[in-house]
Amino acid sequence: MTSLRSDAFVLSRSALTESSWIVCLLTRREGKMRAVAKGARRTKSPFRGALEPLNRVRVEISLREGRDLGTLMSADLEESALDLFGRWPAAGILLAVVEVLDRGLAEHSTEEETYRLVGAVLDSMRSGVSPALAWLYFASWFLRLHGVLGRPGRCAHCGAAKETGHFDAGAGGWICRECARSRLEQGIDVSSATREALGDVFRLSLPGLAARSPGPEALKGLKAVVYLALVSYLGRPLASGDHVSG
């Protein structure tokens, strides 16, 4: 029996018994993990309000060798996200963030960068960055960290170093015009303004990106690209897609 102490973001929870939950966490040290929170559904739960989605908590998880599911021993609330859920459209964006993390991360893979990304996005939303921009930043970086959405450059299909103005998730991402034509235009054409905005996402911090204030057309294009890439990565449409798509 080993014990893990780590900072974590709560992702989701599901009922295990009348009094317990299975909680899904994004831990800083061990990535996504699931643990049983005994007694968490009781009125006098030892976890109180700590296990709400996207709350930052300090957890202790007891792990048995050979078992994926740990037991949550303690969860101390470090920072609550409840106030952000009380603002629309921020709440809709957070529902989508939770879904991407919950469905898009493999268990027990190192996700230190994703952990820091979530923290940066929540901090920026608290300080007033637009939820729509925060979503694009989160989704673009999430996809990049998981090898899906790189900077436009070399054609992912033919390998040639030429302008890649077409995004086709099925062909590996950014592809050139000729390859787009040969693939019967399965992806979408992406304007140079959108590609530039994506470059800014990867170059600047979120507050820096907000200060630069990308144009609405560039953001619209970026929204379409990240949504297409996310659907391809997750293998199905986002259930919370209404809040973040087109």
Partner 1 sequence: MSAFPEPLLRCLEELQKLPGIGPKSAQRILFALLDRGQEPALALARSLESLARSVERCPACRAYRETGRPCLLCEDPRRDRSLLCVVESAADVLLIEATGEYSGLYHVLHGLLSPMRGVHAEHLGVDAIEARLSGGEIREIILATPPTAEGEATASFLASLLAERGAAVSRIAFGMPVGADFQFVDAQTLGRSLSGRKTMAG
User: What is the binding site for partner 1 (CB under 8 A)?
Assistant: 12, 17-18, 48-49, 52-54, 77, 80-82, 85-92, 94-96, 98-99, 102-103, 238-243
- Structure-token pair, residue 220: 């619209």
The candidate with the shortest Cα–Cα distance to 31, out of 112, 103, 98, 134, is: 112
CB–CB of 32/101 below 8 Å?
yes
CB–CB of 71/102 below 8 Å?
no
CB 17 → partner 1: shortest distance, Å? Answer: 7
Residue 17 or 192 having the CB closest to partner 1 = 17
Residue 12 or 194 having the CB closest to partner 1 = 12
CB 234 → partner 1: shortest distance, Å? Answer: 12
CB 150 → partner 1: shortest distance, Å? Answer: 28
Residue 235, sorted as left (phi over 0), alpha (psi -120 to 50) or beta, turns out to be left
Residue 7 or 99 having the CB closest to partner 1 = 99
Q: Given the structure tokens 């709350």, which residue do they identify?
A: 55
Residues 152 and 168: their CA atoms lie apart, in Å, by 12
Task: For the chain, state the CA radius of gyration.
Answer: 20
CB 19 → partner 1: shortest distance, Å? Answer: 9
Residue 77 or 193 having the CB closest to partner 1 = 77
> What's the count of helices (H) and strands (E) in the chain, helices before strands?
8, 8
- Structure-token pair, residue 61: 């998880």
Residue 97 or 206 having the CB closest to partner 1 = 97
Residue 5 or 87 having the CB closest to partner 1 = 87
CB 128 → partner 1: shortest distance, Å? Answer: 16
In 10 A of CB 81, how many CB atoms?
A: 23
CB 91 → partner 1: shortest distance, Å? Answer: 4
